[in-house]
């Protein structure tokens, strides 16, 4: 997919800034991303060429005691002042999926006066501001905090939902009045999630209700909820007084701009055929039992994307629009595809007469724990335009795309962003919803150059092939007969024939002990071959990824090894890898060299862990070294991280291993216990008892000074166990 030129369409940005409360615990996205400590992030944002940025001056943060007179304005003064200097216009948010300072909440009538007082103080201190979002997504927040019980104050009924929604809308009106007393021309940018609900025939009544409810926040502000509104009776039945609804009609506060937030999961499907779904998805409304699931997972039609929400919002309100959040927590090429679809939908809508002003690169610094809707504090991270796991924010491929669109320039060519997203391919469907015909999987844009992967028969090569298919990336796996990396002419011929967008070298000599007596072959495959590849790729401008090992270190460290630590291999295999690192980076400075360690995964029957579990389950004896400490690496995590880094254009040496360190004995014991396999025949021994020809370093865990991109070892081990158990069930 390519991007159309903007023709006046602006690119905005946004910092995920939620301060939400679950029970008595608050979570701040700005603190988790480190943005609260890095004012220099603002230069990074401005350098993208953004025209505006949704930016937090949150009530809970500035005035946690609730009184603006006791607030600390230092943070807001410094950052808003810097944005002004940079010419990056802030769209100031005052409450973002929050419930206010600790003394109030969304069911408290005092919330309205409190937020209005705070908003007026913001306007008084920063009279040059123009755009405000006093409360982000009031309808969505009312659902999560008033109807579903997920966020504070954890309401679970219609009355709490109605109260939370009215409280937020009344607070928006009061806040804008207070702001406009100080800044008469201040504009309201009102955001909310906008999806559509479909259903089975039995549940059509529920779908109709929810499709009306999705507009309620904007309708209330625009003064549209009078006695003729379809939901007037519902609101009054569940606690809204006719007087307060009429007050919103009499003195409306319509948005100056309607901000549409739309996600892959925004469209929903209601299904009363419970037998099609696992028990944990079953729910209901008191009248019928049903599941509420993402439409993309069950609909025979691919996800509709942004075109539908833009058209519907324009037809309903005829007010200026913006797509105020574009984010996808997924692999990098899918993030690129999703943003391009948003951009092209906005361009097409403008061409059709819809007044769309901007597309917003949301979550510039990524987001935390949205996979559980902020109900758990596990630190699950989704990168955005920048990846903060590197300490200093690292630009991802999204940064290049966003920067080009912001300047109305031609986006950089990216073969990986072509083709259909997962939400448009059959992979999106739940097993019960898959259709035998009617859909053709699209792995890449027609005619797009492939990713070449050497080592077609090895663990890593096969994993790349499998995951490229999942991710919709065109990939060609090469055997030695297709390209012999030890032969420069073979390498050149293969590259010229395929014209790939990148090369992954997953080939190599892997027999560590045999390398001691087979040095010439090990050197050819592990050192000379990668150098030939690097020279050929560099000459053609082709990105390259190749792999190294923890065995380039001598094991004398007392902490995990980092990328800058000096190499000192103890054996021939390690020396071949160390020479390859130096040769590759000297020949191709843009190449990515990934050091990794101790593979385990669900698709390889020969890795240490799978063989160990099989031996113990069959009642065999197993000895494992208890004096060698390593960082095991879950192959699916490794491959996904490598592909993301490759797409981002990362280079140099990078350590990729699941954070954590174990001995081989402890590694086998943990997995066996999780799988409930007896460990009585598992024996801890010193590694020298194995009589290995190659000396081994005793302590080689891999850490990273560039960014820890893989999940912790414990999480990876749990996923391995789940996959292993599922494979056993399938084979039974």
**Which tens digit of pLDDT belongs to each residue from 598-624?**
999 999 888 999 999 999 999 999 999
Query: How many of the other CB atoms lie within 10 Å of CB of 617?
Result: 14
Residues 392 and 452 in one domain: no
Residues 27 and 83 in one domain: yes
523: which 2 tokens?
A: 């050197």
Q: Please state, in angstroms and rounded to a whole number, the distance separating the CA atoms of residues 185 and 182.
A: 9
Q: Which backbone phi and psi does 533 adopt, to 5 degrees? A: -60, -45
> Worst-scoring range by mean pLDDT, 143-157, 289-303, 321-335, 696-710?
289-303
Residues 455 and 330 in one domain: no
44: which 2 tokens?
A: 């990074």
Model pLDDT for residues 506-546, shown as the tens digit of each residue: 999 999 999 999 999 999 999 999 999 999 999 999 999 99
Share of the chain above pLDDT 70, in %: 97
Look at residue 691 and give its three-state secondary structure: coil
Residue 729 has pLDDT above 90, yes or no: no
Residue 16 has pLDDT above 80, yes or no: yes
Judge whether 283 lies within some domain. Answer: no
Average pLDDT, the chain: 94
Model pLDDT for residues 426-483, shown as the tens digit of each residue: 999 988 776 554 444 444 555 689 999 999 999 999 999 999 999 999 999 999 999 9
Residues 567 and 695 in one domain: yes
Tell me how many domains the chain contains: 2
Q: Which backbone phi and psi does 214 adopt, to 5 degrees? A: -60, -20
81: which 2 tokens?
A: 């002042």
Judge whether 500 lies within some domain. Answer: yes
Look at residue 286 and give its three-state secondary structure: coil
Residues 459 and 516 in one domain: yes
Give pLDDT, residue 417.
Answer: 78
Beta strand 451-454 with 502-505 is parallel
Residues 281-287: what's their mean pLDDT? 94
Domain boundary among 383, 408, 433: 408
Domain with 305 in it: 10-269+299-408
Q: CA distances (Å), 678 to each of 26, 602, 620, 720, in order?
A: 42, 20, 10, 18
Q: Please state, in angstroms and rounded to a whole number, the distance separating the CA atoms of residues 449 and 456.
A: 18
688: CATH: 3.40.50.720
Judge whether 423 lies within some domain. Answer: no
| Confidence band for 281, pLDDT divided at 50, 70 and 90 | very high
- Find, among 649, 695, 661, 415, the residue nearest to 544 by Cα: 649
Give pLDDT, residue 732.
Answer: 64
Give pLDDT, residue 721.
Answer: 93
Query: Of the listed 152, 573, 634, 699, which one is catalytic?
Result: 573
Active site residue 561: no
Residues 271-277: what's their mean pLDDT? 95
Handedness of CA 209, 212, 217, 223 (dihedral sign): negative
Residues 245 and 393 in one domain: yes
Residue 497 has pLDDT above 60, yes or no: yes
Burial of 503 (0-12, 13-18, 19+ CB in 10 A): buried
Judge whether 61 lies within some domain. Answer: yes
- The C-alpha angle 613, 477, 551, rounded to 5 degrees, equals 50
Q: Which backbone phi and psi does 261 adopt, to 5 degrees? A: -105, 120
316: CATH: 3.20.20.80
Contact (Cβ atoms closer than 8 angstroms) between residue 322 and residue 194: no
Contact (Cβ atoms closer than 8 angstroms) between residue 389 and residue 383: yes
Residues 518 and 375 in one domain: no
589: which 2 tokens?
A: 């400075």
Query: How many of the other CB atoms lie within 10 Å of CB of 122?
Result: 28
Residues 385 and 481 in one domain: no
| Confidence band for 702, pLDDT divided at 50, 70 and 90 | very high
Residue 678 has pLDDT above 60, yes or no: yes
Residue 647 has pLDDT above 60, yes or no: yes
Model pLDDT for residues 373-403, shown as the tens digit of each residue: 999 888 899 999 999 998 899 999 999 999 9
Q: What is the dihedral of CA 558, 564, 570, 571, to 10 degrees?
A: 140
Give pLDDT, residue 673.
Answer: 94
Residues 171 and 231 in one domain: yes
Judge whether 207 lies within some domain. Answer: yes
Judge whether 29 lies within some domain. Answer: yes
Cis peptide before 70 (omega within 30 of 0): no
Judge whether 671 lies within some domain. Answer: yes
Residues 328 and 449 in one domain: no
Burial of 514 (0-12, 13-18, 19+ CB in 10 A): middle
Residue 664 has pLDDT above 70, yes or no: yes
Residues 175-179: what's their mean pLDDT? 98
Give pLDDT, residue 351.
Answer: 96
Residues 223-247: what's their mean pLDDT? 97
| Confidence band for 7, pLDDT divided at 50, 70 and 90 | low
Q: Please state, in angstroms and rounded to a whole number, the distance separating the CA atoms of residues 664 and 355.
A: 62
Residues 383 and 457 in one domain: no
Domain boundary among 381, 408, 435: 408
Residue 47 has pLDDT above 50, yes or no: yes
Judge whether 40 lies within some domain. Answer: yes
Give one word for 149, left, alpha or beta, with left for phi > 0 and alpha for psi -120 to 50: left
Give pLDDT, residue 727.
Answer: 80
Residues 404 and 447 in one domain: no
């Amino acid at each position: 997919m390519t991007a159309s030129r903007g023709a006046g369409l602006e690119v905005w940005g946004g910092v995920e800034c939620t301060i939400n409360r679950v029970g008595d615990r608050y979570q701040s996205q700005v603190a988790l991303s480190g943005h609260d400590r890095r004012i220099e992030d603002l230069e990074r944002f401005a350098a993208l060429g953004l025209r505006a940025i949704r930016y937090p001056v949150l009530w809970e943060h500035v005035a946690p005691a609730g009184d603006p007179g006791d607030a600390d304005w230092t943070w807001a003064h410094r950052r808003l002042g810097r944005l002004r200097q940079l010419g990056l216009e802030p769209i100031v948010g005052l409450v973002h999926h929050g419930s206010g300072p600790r003394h109030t909440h969304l069911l408290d009538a005092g919330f309205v006066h409190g937020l209005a007082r705070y908003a007026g103080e913001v306007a008084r201190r920063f009279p040059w501001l123009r755009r405000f979002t006093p409360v982000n997504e009031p309808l969505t927040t009312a659902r999560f905090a008033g109807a579903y019980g997920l966020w504070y104050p954890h309401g679970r009924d219609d009355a709490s939902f109605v109260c939370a929604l009215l409280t937020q809308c009344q607070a928006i009106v009061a806040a804008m009045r207070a702001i406009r007393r100080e800044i008469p021309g201040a504009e309201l940018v009102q955001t909310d999630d906008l999806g559509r609900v479909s259903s089975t025939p039995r549940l059509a009544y529920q779908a109709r209700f929810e499709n009306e409810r999705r507009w309620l926040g904007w309708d209330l502000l625009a003064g549209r909820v009078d006695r003729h509104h379809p939901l007037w009776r519902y609101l009054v039945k569940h606690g809204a007084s006719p007087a307060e609804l009429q007050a919103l009609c009499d003195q409306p506060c319509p948005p100056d701009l309607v901000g549409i937030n739309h996600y892959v999961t925004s469209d929903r499907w209601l299904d009363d055929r419970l037998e099609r779904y696992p028990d944990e998805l079953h729910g209901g409304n008191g009248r019928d039992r049903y599941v509420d699931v993402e439409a993309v997972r069950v609909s025979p039609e691919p996800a509709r994307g942004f075109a539908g929400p833009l058209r519907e919002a324009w037809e309903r309100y005829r007010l200026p629009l913006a797509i105020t959040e574009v984010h996808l927590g997924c692999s990098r090429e899918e993030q690129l595809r999703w943003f391009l679809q948003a951009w092209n939908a906005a361009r097409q809508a403008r061409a059709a007469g819809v007044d769309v002003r901007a597309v917003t690169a949301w979550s510039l610094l990524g987001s935390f724990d949205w996979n559980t809707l902020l109900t758990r504090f596990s630190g699950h991270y989704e990168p955005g335009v920048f990846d903060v796991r590197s300490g200093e924010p690292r630009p991802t491929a999204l940064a290049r795309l966003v920067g080009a669109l912001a300047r109305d320039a031609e986006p950089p060519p990216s073969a990986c962003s072509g083709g259909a997203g997962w939400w448009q391919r059959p992979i999106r469907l739940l097993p019960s919803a898959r259709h035998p015909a009617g859909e053709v999987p699209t792995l890449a844009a027609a005619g797009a150059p492939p990713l070449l992967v050497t080592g077609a028969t090895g663990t890593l090569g096969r994993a790349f092939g499998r995951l490229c298919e999942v991710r919709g990336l065109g990939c060609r796996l090469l055997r030695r007969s297709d390209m012999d990396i030890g032969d420069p002419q073979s390498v050149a011929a293969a590259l010229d024939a395929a014209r790939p967008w990148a090369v992954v070298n997953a080939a190599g000599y892997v027999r560590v002990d045999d390398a001691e007596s087979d040095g010439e072959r090990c050197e050819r495959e592990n050192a000379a071959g990668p150098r030939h590849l690097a020279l050929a790729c560099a000459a053609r401008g082709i990105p390259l990824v190749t792999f190294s090992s923890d065995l380039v270190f001598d094991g004398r460290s007392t902490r995990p090894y980092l990328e800058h630590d000096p190499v000192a291999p103890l054996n021939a295999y390690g020396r071949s890898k160390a020479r390859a690192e130096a040769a590759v980076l000297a020949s191709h400075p843009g190449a990515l060299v990934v050091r990794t360690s101790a593979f385990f995964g669900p698709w390889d029957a020969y890795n240490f862990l799978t063989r160990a579990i099989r031996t113990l389950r069959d009642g065999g004896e197993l000895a494992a070294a208890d004096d060698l400490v390593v960082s095991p690496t879950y192959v699916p995590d490794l491959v996904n991280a490598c592909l993301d880094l490759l797409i981002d254009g990362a280079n140099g040496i990078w350590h990729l291993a699941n954070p954590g360190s174990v001995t081989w004995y402890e590694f086998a014991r943990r997995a066996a216990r999780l799988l409930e396999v007896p460990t009585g025949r598992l024996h801890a021994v010193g590694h020298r008892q194995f009589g290995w020809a190659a000396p081994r370093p005793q302590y080689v865990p891999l850490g990273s000074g560039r960014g820890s991109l893989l999940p912790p070892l414990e999480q990876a081990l749990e996923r391995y166990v789940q996959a292993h158990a599922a494979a056993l069930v399938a084979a039974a």
